[in-house]
Structure 1
Amino acid sequence: MGATCSRKRDMVAEEPIVQRSSYGYCKSGSTKWLGMTFVRSCRDIQLGTRQCPSLMDLCLQTICRDIHRYTTFSKLPRDISQQIFDELVRSERLTDASFEAFRGCALEDMNLGEYLGVNDNWMDVVSSQGSSLLSLDVSGSDITDSGLSCLKECTNLEALNFNFCDHISDSGLKNMKGFSNLRSLSFRRNNAITSEGMSVFASLTNMVKLDLERCLRIHGGLVHLKGLNKLESLSIKWCNCIKDSDMEHLSGLTNLKSLQISCSQVTDNGITYLKGLHKLTLLNLEGCPITSASLNTLTALGSLLYLNLSRCNLSTNGCESFSGLSSLKILNLSYSNITNASLACLKDLFNLESLNIESCKITNEGIVHLAGLSKLKRLELSDTEIGSSGLEHLSGLTNLESINLSFTKVSDMGMIKLSGLSSLTSLNLDLPRLTDTGLAALTSLTALTHLDLFGARITDHGMSYLRNFKNLRLLEICGGHITDDGVKYIKDLSSLTLLNLSQNRSLTDKSLSIISGLTELVSLNVSNSRITSGGLQHLKSLKHLKSLSLECCKVTANDIRKLQSTHLPDLVSFRPY
């Protein structure tokens, strides 16, 4: 499909936790608008409505605009200083000089994850918040062990986030010994932390959440967690150093509710140490070399709601133990070796709400076993061997809200079998066999908010059926058969926030004129088209736009930057860049 079509197929299925900042931290900050994960909920700045901003909003905007005039905010009430700080971070106006103005302000939350320029020089101002500081996020920064030592005065810290801070080592961890109130700690992707340095964790007895994802030198360090009886969430995903012997140290953590050990070396033997974790509701074993034999152990986990066995060595033999996991609501079996016969073992999972069998050896004969899962809301069938006739077994699943059929053998005939599922809000139909005829069969699904027709052969005539989907927020049609005449049919889809029309080479500046009325758009992709710099004027009305892709068009990065500086201040990601 080419690099310019902005098509992403997530090859690694993730757990359904509050939308993780799945785009990760990066020092460019270019994906900040997509959301950042803070380990402690911070106060969101309420910007008010665009039509009538509050007096506080106006004051904040004025202060941030004229920030160079102020040398200190320490005399202001703490909640006001906090709002000013948060707005400066949000608007990316915080600098070395303006940061100094917050010295001694007794701020509670300093969420600087991904913020450019954060280094040890900032930590003196951070430490000046003293015992008031409760949450600090400096992910993706250049903070070192020396900078971490500055936090000794912040004795009431409850949450620390040092994701992707690869200059922090065991030496820096020693400075955390006095943080007895710490409840949440995150050190994703750090190769300098070792099992020896983890000894400091033994003193953090109030720890509730610990994230050591992609820390590759912590084998043997889990022994220091044995006394953390309040620990509820532990992530050691992508730590391929973790072995069965490490799992033994988790057996006594009976308050654990979430455990993520994906892509480690843990085998069936290691899983046996989890038998006593009766409060466990989420278990992520993706990519671990476990087999169906582990299911016997997992049946003892009566509270288990989410189980990820993607990319594991499952086979039909032993899958009958699935019947003992009746509490499951979410099950991920993608990229495993399960077959049609394996699906027969799922028929007793009556509480199942989400099932992912992407890239499994499943045909129409296997889908019949899903017919009784009446609570099913989300179904991932992409890259399987199912065809249109298999979809008839889904007609009774009236609670289905989302189906992904991309890269299957489904054609227009299959759409007729979906037309009665009125609860559907999301459909992924990246199907080369899908044409205008199939789209016409879906017009009764008026609740749709997400419609992906990426590789479907939709023409201008088929575009006319889109007028029935008034609630659409996401639309992708990239099959290459759309012209300006077809785009006119989406001009009234006023709820659209993401629109991808890339690969349609006949689109011209006229399409941008039509799109200009979709003022709620946050992301727009019209790459590989005939758009020119002259057409950019039509985008001035898209004030919410944060991502714009016009690759392989007659548009330069400078053209987009000019538009950004004059009319689209919220635009943070664009191509060409």
Structure 2
Amino acid sequence: MGGACSRKRDQQDNEDNLVRGVSGKYCKSGSSKWLATSFSRPSMDIQLGRGNCPSLMDLCVQKIREDVDRYRAFSMLPGDISQQIFNELVYSQRLTDVHLEAFRDCALQDIYLGEYPGVNDSWMGVISSQGPSLLSVDLSGSEVTDTGLLHLRDCSNLQSLCFNCCDQISDRGLERISGFSSLTSLSFRRNNAITAKGMSAFAVLVNLVKLDLERCLEIHGGLVHLKALSALLYLNLNRCNLSDDGCEKFSQFGNLKVLNLGFNDITDACLVHLKGLTNLESLNLDSCGIGDEGLVNLTGLRHLKCLELSDTGVGSNGLRHLSGLTNLESLNLSFTVVTDGGLRKLSGLLSLKSLNLDARHITDTGLAALTSLTGLTHLDLFGARITDAGTNHLRNFKNLRSLEICGGGLTDTGVKNIKDLSFLKLLNLSQNSNLTDKTLELVSGLTGLVSLNVSNSRITSAGLRHLKTLKNLKSLTLEACKVTANDIKKLQSTDLPNLVTFRPE
């Protein structure tokens, strides 16, 4: 659905778009993805070698990491020190099943092993030995099974469990966590062994605040088991193969603040059951079968701050239902059939900071209708047909940090209206084939730029000299230009020390 555009649709395999943290896509190859786990790296390695004096504790933990084979038990240490040693071993990938034994009965509070290689049921004995002290566990991407979950029965104070991509956990495993009445956060992303029947185990988790079941394809009909979860604030059902049948259960979640229903087979009929969710702050309907008429059910969601309508049948007529959502800060209308005329209905949304209009139906006229939105910090016009004349309207958006205009209608003349947007950190002007080295000269004053893309243009190696002033630049993309990787490397070595990614490479 929605309008055609040159940008690939599949940009967000990681649908942590509402609450970002651990990667939503795990593999079991022992890759470095596990580094995205929630705990922070101890600061000692950062401090060492930079003239800062590390603390005595940092030095001790580092020494233990280096000589870890010498130690058989850490249980005599205070729990917070054992925790720091454990985290450091995990981060440095020095923790093995043998070393793990040294942490038995250490009263650890947090065990984050998401995507860590080799984790299976044999690790669960030591993990469960932390007993009532254990509050949070992440074993995403592991080989833990239903049997392994049985070990957690003595960890009575668990507040957070994350088992994303643990495909050996089924309904039977869910039964073994039903007794954790203190749980506030639970995540089982990408699990096809969990069914609607198995979700009955969640019925007694009355303190649950966050439930993430993204890409659990067999749970349709399971919402009936969640009716007692009145504390639920976050519910992620993205890509769960849901239909309108059963959507009436959404009306029971009156306290929800975040609801992700993206990429499901729901239609306007489902939205009828959302109109009572007046506490909602974020709603994702990406790629659902909704249209203009369904949006009338959103008019009462006055607290809504983030609304995702990308790749839906929403058009200009539907936008009239959004005009009263004056707290909206982020709105995505990419790949919809919204036209210039409809954008006038957004002119009163003065709280908007992020607006995505990646659609071929949008032209200079539509951009002119948005000039009242002076608080915008992110404006995506990737596929819109903006010309040099239209860029005159960009002068109204003095606060922009991110701008994408890639519809092919710009020349160097249009870039003159961009060069004074001094807060820009990301600028994407790719696909504008008439841009020349003059464009690089014009943007050379945007010294805050971190990312610049002028691919598929007439940029040459001679123009690179204009980029010497962009000392904060970390990403530079000039594909399909008369520029080589060696040209960029020379610039990197002499003038752009912070540049870490570039294309061509």
Residues 491/7 of structure 1: CA separation in 2 closer, same or farther (3 Å cut): farther
- Paired amino acid for 2:265: S
Note if contact 2:398-2:422 (Cα within 8 Å) is conserved in structure 1.
yes
Residues 408/263 of structure 1: CA separation in 2 closer, same or farther (3 Å cut): closer
Partner of 1:77: 56
Which of 152, 157, 160 aligns to 1:201? It is: 152
Instruction: Deviation per CA, 1:164-201: give whole Å up to 9, x if none.
Output: 223222223333243233322212222x2222223332
Residues 1:381 and 2:309 are matched in the alignment: yes
Matches of 2:251 and 2:63, distance apart in 1 = 54
Note if contact 2:275-2:298 (Cα within 8 Å) is conserved in structure 1.
yes
- Paired amino acid for 2:21: R
- Paired amino acid for 1:336: D
Matches of 1:363 and 1:39, distance apart in 2 = 38
Note if contact 1:198-1:224 (Cα within 8 Å) is conserved in structure 2.
yes
Partner of 1:215: 166
Partner of 1:307: 259
- Paired amino acid for 1:337: I
Q: TM-score, normalised by structure 2?
A: 0.83
Residues 139/409 of structure 1: CA separation in 2 closer, same or farther (3 Å cut): farther
Residues 488/23 of structure 1: CA separation in 2 closer, same or farther (3 Å cut): farther
Q: For 1:225, what is the secondary structure of its paired residue? A: coil
Q: Pick which of 150-159 and 528-537 moved more.
A: 150-159
- Paired amino acid for 2:210: S
Partner of 1:527: 455
Note if contact 2:248-2:270 (Cα within 8 Å) is conserved in structure 1.
no
Shift in Å at residue 214 of structure 1? 0.6
Task: Flag structure 2 segments of 5+ consecutive residues without an equivalent.
Answer: none
Residues 1:20 and 2:5 are matched in the alignment: no
- Paired amino acid for 2:49: C
Partner of 2:38: 39
Partner of 1:336: 265
After TM superposition, list the pairs within 5 Å mapping 1:308-457 onto structure 2. 308-311=260-263, 335-339=264-268, 341-457=269-385
Shift in Å at residue 467 of structure 1? 1.5
Partner of 2:216: 264
Higher RCO, Cα 8 Å, sep 6+: 2
Residues 379/298 of structure 1: CA separation in 2 closer, same or farther (3 Å cut): closer
Instruction: Deviation per CA, 1:231-286: give whole Å up to 9, x if none.
Output: 22111111112234533433333332222223225445544433333333223233
Shift in Å at residue 348 of structure 1? 3.9
Partner of 1:152: 103
- Paired amino acid for 2:62: F
Note if contact 2:212-2:237 (Cα within 8 Å) is conserved in structure 1.
yes
Matches of 1:389 and 1:551, distance apart in 2 = 39
Shift in Å at residue 215 of structure 1? 0.8
Count of aligned positions? 493
Residues 162/404 of structure 1: CA separation in 2 closer, same or farther (3 Å cut): same
Residues 373/246 of structure 1: CA separation in 2 closer, same or farther (3 Å cut): closer
Task: Flag structure 1 segments of 5+ consecutive residues without an equivalent.
Answer: 46-58, 68-72, 83-99, 106-120, 312-334
After TM superposition, list the pairs within 5 Å mapping 1:57-96 onto structure 2. 63-65=48-50, 76-78=55-57, 81=58
Matches of 2:67 and 2:115, distance apart in 1 = 17
Which of 195, 201, 219 aligns to 1:249? It is: 201
In angstroms, what is the RMSD of aligned CA positions? 3.9
Instruction: Deviation per CA, 1:451-494: give whole Å up to 9, x if none.
Output: 00000111122222212110001100011121222222211111
Q: Pick which of 198-207 and 470-479 moved more.
A: 198-207
Matches of 1:142 and 1:225, distance apart in 2 = 29
Matches of 2:301 and 2:128, distance apart in 1 = 50
Residues 196/387 of structure 1: CA separation in 2 closer, same or farther (3 Å cut): closer
Partner of 1:319: none
- Paired amino acid for 2:12: D
Note if contact 1:258-1:280 (Cα within 8 Å) is conserved in structure 2.
yes
Instruction: Deviation per CA, 1:4-30: give whole Å up to 9, x if none.
Output: 96876436754622x33558689887x
Identity fraction in percent: 45
Instruction: Deviation per CA, 1:359-405: give whole Å up to 9, x if none.
Output: 33433334344444433333323223333343333333333322222
Residues 165/558 of structure 1: CA separation in 2 closer, same or farther (3 Å cut): farther
- Paired amino acid for 1:241: A
Shift in Å at residue 292 of structure 1? 4.7
Shift in Å at residue 150 of structure 1? 5.6
- Paired amino acid for 2:260: N
Matches of 1:342 and 1:101, distance apart in 2 = 54
Q: For 1:463, what is the secondary structure of its paired residue? A: helix
Instruction: Deviation per CA, 1:340-368: give whole Å up to 9, x if none.
Output: x5444544444333333333343333434
Note if contact 2:203-2:229 (Cα within 8 Å) is conserved in structure 1.
yes
Matches of 1:4 and 1:407, distance apart in 2 = 11
Note if contact 1:478-1:502 (Cα within 8 Å) is conserved in structure 2.
yes
Q: Pick which of 422-431 and 4-13 moved more.
A: 4-13
Residues 44/419 of structure 1: CA separation in 2 closer, same or farther (3 Å cut): farther
Which of 281, 290, 307 aligns to 2:233? It is: 281
Q: TM-score, normalised by structure 1?
A: 0.74
